[in-house]
Chain A
Amino acid sequence: MEELYALWKQRIEERRPFQYIVGCEHWRDLVLSVQEGVLIPRPETELIVDMANEVILKDKEMKQGVWVDLGTGSGALAIGIGRLLGNEGRVIATDLSPIAASVAAFNVQRYNLQDVVEIRTGSWFEPLDEFKGKIVGLVSNPPYIPSGDITGLQAEVVRHEPKLALDGGANGLDDLLNICKGAASFLKAGGFFIFETNGAKQSKFLVDFLNIQMEGSFQYVNSVSDFAGIQRFVTGFRK
Chain B
Amino acid sequence: MTFEEYVSSRGPALMRLARLLAGDEHRAEDLTQEVLTRAYVHWRRIVRSDRPDVYVRRMLVNAHNSWWRRRSNRELAIPTLVDRPHSGDLGGEAADRDEMWRLIAGLPDRQRAVLVLRYYEDLDDATIAEILGCSQVTVRTHAMRALATLRERSGLPTTNGSRP
Whether chains A and B associate is no
Binding site for A on B (CB under 8 A): none
